[in-house]
């Protein structure tokens, strides 16, 4: 559809098309921002896990902490807090708390997709009601019925309904897709953190030797 056609469609759909257009812009912005953030978080966390394993094996605790301080991936704060803890019980509690913070950070703005997905169909339904009201007003104004009299109102109603469903379906789909991806990534972070906790708690002949990513993955 050409830009002129798109503008005409928005105008013909009635006043509710403008909040639906705003909802669609917000949804697209959230999708792009979260997708980029999750890709960076996934790659950065995998890189950090490998680097911490190598640093801890080669130089011990101080080198592993230095790697965490230089990294800005979500896993860096978790690893730094775990490595800096004094005892095993403290490490486990800190790891759980930090992983919860990471999960909340990854889910930032996702609620907007769920909210828009729930509201958009109702906004479209409101436009449908307005279109039907307009049809009856046209009938009352002309004093006669017929398709030509009610066509404009019915067309407005159908466009609003379609717009609300389109925005709602896409937003809900994106919301569910992001939640699955975030939960999977959070599970991987928990697994890696558990590996770190077990390695720190295990008696070893030489300090350090976290399992390398290439060997454990």
**Residues in contact with 212: Cβ distance below 8 Å, sequence separation at least 6, in sequence order:** 50, 53, 54, 57
Backbone angles phi, psi at 87, to 5 degrees: -135, 165
Per-residue pLDDT of the chain (217 residues; tens, 9 = 90+): 433 566 777 777 778 889 999 999 999 999 999 999 999 998 888 888 888 878 877 777 788 888 888 888 888 889 888 888 867 778 888 888 999 999 999 999 999 999 999 999 999 999 888 888 877 777 777 666 566 666 667 777 888 889 999 999 999 999 999 999 999 999 999 998 888 888 777 654 344 445 444 344 3
- Regarding pTM above 0.85, the answer is no
Report the alpha-carbon distance of residue 214 to residue 50 in Å, rounded.
8
């Amino acid at each position: 559809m050409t830009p002129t056609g798109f503008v005409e469609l928005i105008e013909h759909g009635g006043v509710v098309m403008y909040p639906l257009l705003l909802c669609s812009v917000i949804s697209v912005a959230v999708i792009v921002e979260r997708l980029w953030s999750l890709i960076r978080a996934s790659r950065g966390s995998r890189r950090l896990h490998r680097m911490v394993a190598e640093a801890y094996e080669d130089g011990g605790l101080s080198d592993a902490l230095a790697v965490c301080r230089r990294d800005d991936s979500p896993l860096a704060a978790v690893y730094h807090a775990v490595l800096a803890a004094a005892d095993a019980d403290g490490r486990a509690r800190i790891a759980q708390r930090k992983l919860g913070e990471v999960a909340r950070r990854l889910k930032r703005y996702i609620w907007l997709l769920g909210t828009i997905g729930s509201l958009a169909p109702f906004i479209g339904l409101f436009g449908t009601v307005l279109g039907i009201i307009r049809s009856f007003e046209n009938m009352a104004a002309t004093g006669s019925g017929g398709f030509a009299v009610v066509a404009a109102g019915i067309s407005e109603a159908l466009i609003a309904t379609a717009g609300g469903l389109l925005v709602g379906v896409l937003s809900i789909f994106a919301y569910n897709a992001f939640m699955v991806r975030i939960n999977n990534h959070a599970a991987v972070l928990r697994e890696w953190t558990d590996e770190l906790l077990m390695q720190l708690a295990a008696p070893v002949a030489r300090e350090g030797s976290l399992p390398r990513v290439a060997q454990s993955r």
